[in-house]
Chain A
Amino acid sequence: MARVFGSTIFAQPIARVWALIRDFNGHESWHPAVERSRIEFDEPADKVGAVRRFRLRGGGEIREQLLALSDREHSFRYFIVEAPVALRDYVAEMRLKPVTGEDATYCEWRAEFDPPPSERESLTRFVREEIVAAGFAAIRQALTHERAPTVARVAPEPAQTDARAVVLTRYGGPEALEMRGLAVPPPGSDEARLRQTAIGVNFIDVYCRRGGFTLVPPGGVLGMEAAGVVERLGPGVNGLSVGDRVAYACAPPGAYTTARNMRADMLVKLPPGLTDRQAAALMLKGITASFLLHDVYAVKPGDFVLIHAAAGGVGQLLCRWAKALGARVVGVVSSPAKAQIARALGCDLVLLSGQPDLIEATRRFAEGEGAHVAYDAVGADTFDRSVAALRPRGHLVSFGQASGDVGARSIDALASGSVTLSRPNYSHYTDTPAKLAAQTSRLFAALAAGHIEAAEPRVYPLADASRAHADLEGRRTTGAIVLTP
Chain B
Amino acid sequence: MAKVYASATIAAAPSAVWAVVRDFNALPKWTPFVAESRIEQNRLADQVGCIRNFRLKDGGRIREQLLALSDYEMSFGYAILESPMGVENYYATFKLSPITDLDHTFAEWQAEFDAPPERQDGLVAQIGRNVFAAGLAALRQRFSR
Whether A99 pairs with B9 at a CB distance below 8 angstroms is yes
In the assembled complex, B53 has its CB within 8 A of some CB on chain A: no
Whether the Cβ atoms of B101 and A102 lie closer than 8 Å is no
Which B residue's beta carbon lies closest to that of A132? B100
Task: Tell me if B's interface is mostly helix, strand, loop or mixed.
Answer: strand
Known interface pairs A97-B108, A106-B97, A108-B97; A9-B7 also in contact (CB < 8 Å)? no
A98 sits at the interface (CB 8 A): yes
Mark interface residues in B3-39 (1 if CB within 8 Å of A CB, else 0): 0011111000000000000000000000000000000
- Residue A56 at the B interface, CB < 8 A? no
A144 to chain B, nearest CB (A): 16
Q: Does B99 contact A (CB under 8 A)?
A: yes
Please tell me if A156 contacts chain B, counting CB pairs below 8 Å. no
Q: List the B residue with the shortest CB-CB distance to A128.
A: B100
Please encode chain A, from 92 to 103, with 1 for each CB lying within 8 Å of some chain B CB and 0 for all others.
Answer: 000001111110
A290-333: CB near B (< 8 Å → 1, else 0) gives 00000000000000000000000000000000000000000000
Are B106 and A7 in contact (CB-based, < 8 A)?
yes
Q: Smallest CB-CB separation from B5: which chain A residue?
A: A100
Inter-chain contact A99/B100, CB cutoff 8 Å: no
- The residue from B8, B101, B136 contacting A6, defined by CB atoms under 8 A apart: B101
Q: Which of A99-132 contact B (CB under 8 A)?
A: 99-102, 104, 106, 108
Q: How many residues on the A side are at the interface (Cβ–Cβ under 8 A)?
A: 16
User: Is A418 part of the contact surface with B, judged by Cβ < 8 Å?
Assistant: no
Instruction: Give the CA-CA distance A98 to B6 in the complex, in Å.
Output: 8
Instruction: Tell me whether A5 is interfacial, beta carbon within 8 Å.
Output: yes
B8 touches A99 (CB 8 A): yes
The dominant DSSP class at the A interface is strand
Contact between A7 and B100 (Cβ–Cβ < 8 Å)? yes
Do A9 and B99 touch (CB < 8 A)?
A: yes
Query: Is B99 in contact with A97, judged by CB distance below 8 angstroms?
Result: no
Answer whether residue A446 sits at the interface, using C-beta atoms and an 8 A cutoff.
no
Contact of A101 among B99, B101, B102, B136 (CB under 8 A): B136
Q: Is the CB of A106 within 8 A of B101?
A: no
Residues of A within 8 A of B104 (CB): 9
The reply on A8 being an interface residue by CB < 8 A is yes
A7 and B7 contact, Cβ closer than 8 Å, known pairs A101-B136, A101-B137:
no
Within 8 A of B (CB), among A59-118: 97-102, 104, 106, 108
Residues in B with CB closer than 8 Å to A101 are 6-8, 133, 136-137, 140
Decide if B106 touches A97 in the complex (CB within 8 Å).
yes
* A106 in contact with B7 given A9-B106, A97-B106, A101-B137 (CB within 8 Å): yes
Contact assessment for B133 and A106 in the assembled complex, using a CB-CB cutoff below 8 Å: no
CA distance A106 to B101 in the complex (A): 12
B7–A8 touching, CB < 8 Å: no
6 CB contacts below 8 A, A to B, read A7-B106, A8-B100, A9-B99, A101-B133, A101-B136, A106-B106
Interface residues of A (CB under 8 A from B): 5-9, 97-102, 104, 106, 108, 133, 136
9 A-B pairs closest in CB distance:
A106-B106, A101-B8, A8-B101, A100-B6, A6-B100, A7-B100, A100-B7, A99-B7, A7-B99
